[in-house]
Amino acid sequence: MDPFANLSPLDHRYAVEDPAQFARLSQYLSEAAYLRYQLAVEVALVKGLVKMGIAPAAAAEDIERAAQLVTPAEVAAEEEKTHHNIRALVNCLQRRVSESHRPFIHWSATSMDILDTARALQYRDATRELIAPALGELEQCWIEQTRRYAHTPQIGRTHGQHAVPVTFGFALAWYVQRLGDRMETILSAARRLRGKMAGAVGAYNAASLRVSDPQQLEAVVLGELGIKPALISTQIVPPEAVLDWAHGLVSTFGVLANFADDMRHLQRTEIGEVGEAFTAEQVGSSTMPHKRNPWNFEHVKSLWKEFLPRILTVYMDQISEHQRDLTNSASGRFLPEVAAGLVQAADRLTRFSRRLVVDETRMRANLERSANLFVAEPLYILLAAAGHPSAHEAVRRLTLSPQAGKESLAELALADEELAPYLQRLSATERELLHQPEQYRGLAVQKAQDIAAHWAGQLQQWQSTGWGLSA
Amino acid sequence: MDPFANLSPLDHRYAVEDPAQFARLSQYLSEAAYLRYQLAVEVALVKGLVKMGIAPAAAAEDIERAAQLVTPAEVAAEEEKTHHNIRALVNCLQRRVSESHRPFIHWSATSMDILDTARALQYRDATRELIAPALGELEQCWIEQTRRYAHTPQIGRTHGQHAVPVTFGFALAWYVQRLGDRMETILSAARRLRGKMAGAVGAYNAASLRVSDPQQLEAVVLGELGIKPALISTQIVPPEAVLDWAHGLVSTFGVLANFADDMRHLQRTEIGEVGEAFTAEQVGSSTMPHKRNPWNFEHVKSLWKEFLPRILTVYMDQISEHQRDLTNSASGRFLPEVAAGLVQAADRLTRFSRRLVVDETRMRANLERSANLFVAEPLYILLAAAGHPSAHEAVRRLTLSPQAGKESLAELALADEELAPYLQRLSATERELLHQPEQYRGLAVQKAQDIAAHWAGQLQQWQSTGWGLSA
Amino acid sequence: MDPFANLSPLDHRYAVEDPAQFARLSQYLSEAAYLRYQLAVEVALVKGLVKMGIAPAAAAEDIERAAQLVTPAEVAAEEEKTHHNIRALVNCLQRRVSESHRPFIHWSATSMDILDTARALQYRDATRELIAPALGELEQCWIEQTRRYAHTPQIGRTHGQHAVPVTFGFALAWYVQRLGDRMETILSAARRLRGKMAGAVGAYNAASLRVSDPQQLEAVVLGELGIKPALISTQIVPPEAVLDWAHGLVSTFGVLANFADDMRHLQRTEIGEVGEAFTAEQVGSSTMPHKRNPWNFEHVKSLWKEFLPRILTVYMDQISEHQRDLTNSASGRFLPEVAAGLVQAADRLTRFSRRLVVDETRMRANLERSANLFVAEPLYILLAAAGHPSAHEAVRRLTLSPQAGKESLAELALADEELAPYLQRLSATERELLHQPEQYRGLAVQKAQDIAAHWAGQLQQWQSTGWGLSA
Amino acid sequence: MDPFANLSPLDHRYAVEDPAQFARLSQYLSEAAYLRYQLAVEVALVKGLVKMGIAPAAAAEDIERAAQLVTPAEVAAEEEKTHHNIRALVNCLQRRVSESHRPFIHWSATSMDILDTARALQYRDATRELIAPALGELEQCWIEQTRRYAHTPQIGRTHGQHAVPVTFGFALAWYVQRLGDRMETILSAARRLRGKMAGAVGAYNAASLRVSDPQQLEAVVLGELGIKPALISTQIVPPEAVLDWAHGLVSTFGVLANFADDMRHLQRTEIGEVGEAFTAEQVGSSTMPHKRNPWNFEHVKSLWKEFLPRILTVYMDQISEHQRDLTNSASGRFLPEVAAGLVQAADRLTRFSRRLVVDETRMRANLERSANLFVAEPLYILLAAAGHPSAHEAVRRLTLSPQAGKESLAELALADEELAPYLQRLSATERELLHQPEQYRGLAVQKAQDIAAHWAGQLQQWQSTGWGLSA
């Protein structure tokens, strides 16, 4: 099959651009991967039946061997006859085991026992092997940049307007915090993914026929797979566990998109504080040879716009009639794409965050051009602290003077009859600060370092415990 | 490449299930298809330059020949160097033409001249070759079923409750109308798709250097492709044209999903009026051998839940800063999937609408079980027409009687001292109808036939004019 | 003001329908409520300044008294001049306190210190006083119904088709579980709501001028309000805390909508297992006097469709440029509506769940009509357990027999040469069950009781601890 | 009722801010307005019955007089008994007319005949009286600004990077075009809104009892109201007409938000090309007295984020089971809010577009700072036109030179051995342009003027024909 014949950019353009990444994603998120998990559940079921004394030990070995031979193509071919995917899978297994073991395959299970459990396993493993590592690498990179630029002065911006100073490391720490928090959300949701082995309507009707404690059978089977049963199922596991996980994914995407947005704006020609690294061969525009566009940051925001709305599908899939209708089936098959998109976005951001070109000179220059104005804040605060009853209003009026911006508001205040007396009451340090407004950055440095330290520690702890997700 | 390694169900499961359908979709909606349209635009540009006297005729022939040789893989390889897809495409073309013709390739164009125009062509052709035919076939099928069942009595249902009778053909005509109307919406939007050849910021800066009337050049180039220019562009064509088309697609999906929903409810065990055809080999459930599930109708509703939210992406992509940012780029690449999903849903509905199993006996039985009750409406209307000042309330009270439902409300009314005199004033025909409530179906038959006729005519007219979309 | 002149149904139709409910909602979710919380934060700030030795104790008393006098109308009038809501609020406070205390009002704070903290308090209190109680009452009601109907046989339905039996209590327990789980999600998110007192860009620039440890000031101020500071803020608190809370709300709405959907389908004329209570005066249809529609259940689903998409706004509001832009401001003002909608839906469901009319006879009859068929599952499972190598296929073939459904599949199997020998191997109990298929309900009763007990305990624990949310 | 007790910002904050605007919105979009339209439909029905000879002329006069007396509060009180809004309305009418006329009120109609028709009228009138005028005023304002700034040079920006020059008028013309196009979409959708008078399930069952041609009755009734019947209805009008209208609204919102986004970015401190007018009393920040924020533009973008997702509700409401379920009822009641939000956003943009502060000096300065670089495009185009076989690559290499940006690329090219000969082939005019790159703006001026003229004409035509919407 020609990848360019594919319909999804995930399977053509992005697959071709980075084949190694595609291979990693495919290992957990493709149809082949899903089938592999389904087979694992069928095998675990028979192992459970052995442990419960329903099936002979040989049956488990027989089916485990068979499961390794079943291919996606074979199941697809069988499904053309059965029009039922799990029955097709079972048929493919059964024809590979001895006749006496056949009855134990899929015994007492309904398709959704296999499918919902397989999805839970797949999403858990994708979290551990793909998502958490990709996000962790990005977090690590941002932590390093936060530390590197902890002291680099930058003007704080609110409403796109110069506000008061921070440091670039402080600005990055905001993202370190938010990404770390989202990782927690995803990991916690992944830990709450649940499986089931409760039969057609969730009441263990079939298993009850021969098993005295079918909930034990369920626990044993799922224990084989390292996952817990839902407290109650119908034909399906309660859909909220997967929904919470999906919420974790798309809300993480929002943090990535916010970062990307900031970077592309800081790269605006007039601002020029950061830039994407550019190779010597790279073309910025097919007609404007001088262009250096922040296209990777734009790309991440664009992916966010593609994948964010898909959360709606997962919310809509909460509704399933009675003990289940199938209207969540096709839609559920597209969810792995969201995970793939998030990993791609994270990988790209890591790559370009690492090579981020930071123009510290420009940063400082931008800050300085507003120094005459943003001194308004410390001026007002100190005037108030010195007892001026309407300091904000007084300074606001100063900013309307024709000299505002050209001269420092601090100078204008000193020359102001009404304000000067209050300024006399300030300490020397305070007065000095009014003349070195770039020092007016509060705890920016400390916060940057604290946040970096906090999440560096958390990352290490997660990594040393396999993200708290059983393998 | 193994299709089962793909990430999107469109490229694995559904591609494998119906390879012929996939091939058709791929011909217009894949990455390879998109590239083909881009090449066509580049060729048209040089032809335009020839017509405007800028380039020699041989240049157009040279590049047209070259364009036939360029492959997606080659462009992808070149893009690894340029990091720019259109520059890569241009390079692939240039290296295949004589040195003297190279300057004319892409001359004065910006990438988006090529890309936006290619998308417009692709979506127009996908509409003409894939979407309209698929929907047209479904519409044709529904028209036939509307006619076949125009006289088949069915109880009308509102709120899931028996209301008053219609016919099954009338119920289907509702969908014939809505689908026809949506086809009009899609076709009209497809006709309003626009291209551009207006340069980097839409002001024809580059072309103006040598061309006295660059808008004429644009019109000529796009004329080659059978498409019109936007009234004004920036780097991009106004995004609303594609948005309207996407709105047409997802709102059509809503009609399909509504139909599917109705059918699956009519297939409920207790209702049993329709059913999906089932093959002898088919399995309904992996554990419940007796199940016959409406899974194809469920599938269509599920696809709707997947693709509906994606319209949000297109709305969000309306926002592009100044003369354009790139945050609509990756997201825009996923839009063809919505078209593919819609065609798949339509094809599936056509297949299962054709083979719809209609149980007319059950339909009539369901209707009859409520006849004693739904006579309430004609009874009230006739009582009112006969001058009863509060007929609705009088009949509503009758329905609270313990006999209501067991006996006909008409009988109860006749036995009612207060109501009987009014009933005496009715005509014989009217009184008779109260005793043959299944005849109480108004214009259901006529409406079904009229709607079928209307859209049969429209379909024919569309088909005979290539859907009003130039080839 | 005339409520019918309002634009939102929350403020006209639904407000008029249930004035007591509207008053409760208004107490926490209106503009007046929001202002009350803003005032509380301003007061807490001055108290904090007192504790830190910046302001005299009298200042706190002075402003606390002033805050009780400020009205929404007064602030709105002042805002007409300032075009800035918090400055207007501060002005209203300042003009009510002695000149010497004025400088301490809002000292070192930025508007968002007040606004984001006020929102966190408001949402926490709305959770504790409105949302959790409303959901808790619904949960309690469902727990009772689960227990009441734990043994009531009902046919399980998958795909709208009869599957195998459960009990009605089991079907309800599914919702008890999912609602309980969502309550946990909401409560946990409410506990993670955070405030800030970190100044214009989050770096404590202003407070640092006079306070040696501004983070301590922040902790003290927020401690007054019973809330914690975010680990890092910019001008705003990280938006994910409110997003998680909103996710809790809309995903809870999904559970309510799913329940409502089930109930309205169970009320379908042909099914008739449940019904909404109807008063003697009530009108079902303006033209069909006999109609009894499930309109309250329909209403809840409709509210879900209204409020679900609004989560998208909260996701989009994750993106705020640099240290903040204001594009989340207007949109954020609409979020309380989602909480109001959820409480309304919960209240309505509680009311109608309590008065749910359950037709146990009809439930049993519906179940029995499929008994001949659904015995297919135990038959196949037991045949398999008895060693039949392709039991599912064998039984599936039986279901294709013309007698299937008319006679029990168990009888057909007994009469089948190939199958009969396997049936001989079954125990007496097992064989008996094949002839009493309505007993085939697995652990339905036990599960219903266990889930009810689990959540009854959890509810009690929550209620005794104020939902774990500080007052 | 205290407006600050309301839950929706539309009914508290925004209502209080601009009471005149609220009154206008309320006149068409409130609950009271909706009721007024319902009454109008009931009156029209009786007039139709008169024309068809079913009712006496006096009945129509009687009910018309009664309709003027019915109040929302009275209907709400009656609904408390009936639990049915239209029956309540009918009761309120009936009790005000003579006994002999009562039967004609609502005769043969179902509630949705009244409600769907009332909505169509309401949305049509809101379009004509509120939406089109508000958008028309904004369009007019933008047309004027387009003309005023048609010649004002501005650097074109793509990806936030300086591209090549346009004029500010050209940049505005882009919005004139897109808004004009959206107005067309809204108006066209409003013209396609439809009513119905087809009874409980759309088959005219009731009317058929006494009326020989019930479709004529429907046409006559709707003709009274100036609206056409749907080609086929069930209990409801096909939902796509309202959906198309809603699509028009939210896609227009996207254009407004895009404009607002551009303006707020052009107001960034570093760019400073435009600004919101600021009053002398106005406060930009509660802590930073120097701030001048683009908060009105931010507000519009924020409203867009609030109202865009609501289109999902309308798409979801396409699905209604069989001849209708009620799950579109509550959700449909919120749609007028989207219209209100759009009008508010348009009014605000008109106000601030009119008073837009444009700093033409800064615009020119920003443009000039890139002149050395953006000459790359004309340089490459002219080199290509002069026969250079790889002109783009040659110029791209020039931009990597350390002198690039400091000196003009044109100078560097002239000094380049390989390129100089090609430059000799250019005309004097062409060479000159390379040294006056700010002249490199193509057809920007002409396009701005053409687009302004086109839409000025269209606006005039619309206004002179009442927007093509019957009153």
- For B372, phi then psi, to 5°, come to -60, -25
Active site residue C285: yes
Cβ neighbours of residue C277 closer than 8 Å, sequence gap 6 or more: C352, C355, C356, C357
Nearest-angstrom CA–CA distance, A106 and A86: 9
Q: How does DSSP classify residue D466?
A: G
Q: What is the per-residue pLDDT across B201-231, written as a single tens digit (0 to 9) for each?
A: 999 999 999 999 999 999 999 999 999 999 9
* Token pair belonging to A213: 């404690």
What letter does residue C98 receive in the DSSP assignment? -
- Does the beta carbon of D310 lie under 8 angstroms from any beta carbon of chain A? no
Nearest Cβ partner of C163 from B162, B288, B395? B288
Residues of C whose CB is below 8 A from A319: 254, 257-258, 261
- φ, ψ dihedrals at C153, nearest 5°: -65, 140
Q: Would an 8 Å CB–CB cutoff place A320 in contact with chain C?
A: yes
Distance from the A2 Cα atom to the nearest Cα atom in chain B, whole angstroms: 7
> From the candidates C83, C159, C290, C322, which is the catalytic residue?
C159
Residue D164: pLDDT band with limits 50, 70, 90: very high
Which pLDDT does position C471 carry in this prediction? 72
**Residue D195 CA from chain centroid, whole number:** 23
Mutant choice from A155, A159, A296 vs D, greatest count of D C-beta within 10 A: A159
For residues D423 and A256, what is the distance between their CA atoms, to the nearest angstrom?
46
pLDDT of D280 above 80: no
**Residues B64-68: contacts with CB under 8 Å, at least 24 apart:** B65/B96, B66/B93, B66/B96, B66/B97, B67/B39, B67/B40, B67/B42, B67/B43, B67/B93
**Residue B320 zone, left/alpha/beta (φ > 0; ψ -120 to 50; rest):** beta
Both tokens assigned to B192: 């309003």
Nearest to B311, CA basis, from B342, B270, B288: B342
The 3 state secondary structure assigned to B207-226 is: HHHCCCCHHHHHHHHHHHCC
pLDDT at A280: 75
Cα dist from D317 to A189, A366, B141, D312, whole Å:
31, 51, 25, 8
| Contact yes or no for A285 and B25 at CB 8 A | no
Given the DSSP bridges, would you call strands D194-195 and D161-167 parallel, antiparallel or unpaired?
unpaired
Contacts 24+ apart (CB under 8 A), A390-399: A390/C94, A390/C102, A391/A422, A391/C103, A392/C87, A392/C90, A392/D283, A392/D286, A392/D287, A392/D289, A394/A418, A394/A419, A395/D289, A395/D290, A396/D283, A396/D289, A396/D290, A398/D289, A399/A373, A399/D289, A399/D290
User: For residue range B307-360, what is the model confidence (pLDDT) as tens digits?
Assistant: 999 999 999 999 999 999 999 999 999 999 999 999 999 999 999 999 999 999
Residues of chain B found within 8 Å of residue C292, distances taken between Cβ atoms: 161
State how far the Cα of A292 lies from the Cα of D161, in Å rounded to an integer: 7
A154, A157, A158, A161, best to mutate vs chain D, most D CBs in 10 Å = A161
Whether D4 and C293 lie within 8 Å, measured CB to CB: no
Q: Give CA–CA dist B195/B118, Å, rounded.
A: 8
Rounded Cα–Cα distance for residues D76 and D32 (Å)? 11
First to last CA, chain B: 33
Lowest mean pLDDT among B162-166, C251-255, D82-86: D82-86
Residues in chain A closer than 8 A to B77 (CB atoms): none
Distance CA B8, CA A336 (A): 8
What CATH topology corresponds to D25-32+43-104? Fumarase C; Chain B, domain 1 (1.10.275)
State the CB neighbour count (10 A cutoff) for residue C53. 9
Closest CA to A175 of A451, A453, A367: A451
Alpha-carbon span C229 to C219, nearest angstrom: 6
Is the pLDDT at A438 greater than 90, yes or no? no
CATH number of the B125-197+237-281+289-357+451-468 domain: 1.20.200.10
State the CATH architecture for A123-152+165-357. Answer: Up-down Bundle (1.20)
In the 8-state DSSP scheme, what is residue D404? B
Q: What dotted CATH number matches C3-104? A: 1.10.275.10
Tell me, what's the pLDDT at A209? 94
Which of C2, C84, C331 is facing D306, going by the closest CB pair?
C331
Which DSSP state fits D232? S
Provide φ and ψ at A370, rounded to 5°: -105, 0
Q: Given C98, C100, C188, C285, which residue is catalytic?
A: C285
What whole-number distance in Å separates Cα of residue C149 and Cα of residue C273? 13
Cβ(B106)–Cβ(B48) below 8 Å: no
- Chain B touching partners, 3 or more CB pairs below 8 A: A, C, D
* Mutation site for C-interface testing, chosen from A381, A388, A422 by largest number of C Cβ within 10 Å: A381
Nearest CB neighbour to A159, from listed C99, C251, C325: C325
- Among A90, A315, A391, select the one facing C251 at the smallest CB separation: A315
pLDDT computed for residue B207 by the predictor = 97
> Which chains would you list as touching D if contact means 3+ CB atom pairs under 8 Å?
A, B, C
In contact, A6 and B5? CB cutoff 8 Å:
no
Provide the H-helix boundaries in B230-389.
240-266, 295-307, 311-316, 329-333, 335-354, 360-369, 371-374, 376-385
CB-CB neighbours of C286 under 10 Å: 25
**C466: alpha, beta or left, given left = phi > 0 and alpha = psi -120 to 50?**
left
User: Looking at CA atoms only, how far is residue C409 from chain B in angstroms?
Assistant: 9
B267 interfacial to chain C (CB closer than 8 Å): yes
A401 touches chain B (CB under 8 A): no
Query: Could you tell me if A409 and D290 are in contact, meaning their C-beta atoms sit under 8 angstroms apart?
Result: yes
C373's enclosing H/E stretch is: helix C371-374
Chain B neighbors of C264, CB-CB under 8 A: 159-160
Opening angle at CA C264, ends B273 and C275, nearest 5:
105
Q: Tell which of B30, B71, B287, B319 to mutate to test the A interface (max A CBs under 10 Å).
A: B287
**d(CA B146, nearest CA chain C) in Å:** 24
Residue A47, phi-psi category: left (phi > 0), alpha (psi -120 to 50), beta (remainder): alpha
CA distances from A387 to A419, A429, C16, C99, C101 (A): 11, 18, 50, 9, 8
Question: For residue B305, which residues of chain A lie inside 8 Å, CB to CB?
Answer: 313, 316-317, 327-328, 331
Q: Is the pLDDT of residue B438 over 90?
A: no
Confidence check: pLDDT of D71 > 80: yes
Q: Residues D206-230: what's their mean pLDDT? A: 97
Distance from CA of C68 to the nearest CA of B (A): 44
For residue C310, give the chain D residue with the closest CA.
Answer: D309
Q: CB-based contact (8 Å) between C389 and chain A?
A: yes
Contacts of D170 in chain B (CB under 8 A): 202-203
Which letter does DSSP use for residue C207 in this model?
G
Mean pLDDT in residue range B145-165: 97
Task: ipTM value, please give it.
Answer: 0.97
D126-148 mean pLDDT:
98
Q: Answer whether residue D241 shows pLDDT above 80.
A: yes
Q: Which CATH class is domain A19-32+43-104?
A: mainly alpha
* C-alpha to C-alpha distance for D89 and D86, rounded to whole angstroms: 5
- Catalytic residue, chosen from D8, D98, D285, D331, is D285
Mean pLDDT of chain B: 96
**pLDDT block averages, 10 residues each, chain C of length 471:** 94 96 98 98 98 96 97 95 92 96 96 98 98 98 98 98 97 98 98 98 96 97 98 98 98 98 97 88 80 92 98 98 97 98 98 95 96 94 93 91 88 93 93 90 98 98 95 72
For C160, the token pair is 């709208």
Give me the residues of B, 117-146, that contact D with CB < 8 A: none
CATH hierarchy code of domain D111-366+447-468 = 1.20.200.10
Q: What is the pLDDT of residue C321?
A: 98
Q: Is the pLDDT of residue B1 over 80?
A: no
Q: What's the CATH fold of domain C118-211+224-360?
A: Fumarase C; Chain A, domain 2 (1.20.200)
For residue B295, name the pLDDT band (cuts at 50, 70, 90). very high
> Which residues in A lie closer than 8 A to residue D321 (C-beta atoms)?
none
Look at residue D160 and tell me whether its pLDDT is greater than 90: yes
Q: What is the overall mean pLDDT for chain D?
A: 95
Q: Is A208 on the interface with B (CB under 8 A)?
A: no
Q: At what angle do helices C168-191 and C444-464 cross, to 10 degrees?
A: 30
Task: For residue A438, count other CB atoms closer than 10 A to its CB.
Answer: 16
Interface list for D 270-299 with C (CB within 8 A) = 279, 281-288, 293, 295, 298-299
Nearest-CA distance D9 → chain A (Å): 22
- Among A375, A150, A438, D287, which Cα is nearest to C198's? D287
A331 CB neighbours in chain D (<8 A) are: none
State yes or no: is D285 an active-site residue: yes
SS3 label, residue D357: strand
Query: Residue B330 and residue A25: Cβ atoms within 8 Å?
Result: no
Rounded Cα distance between B246 and B341, Å, is 12
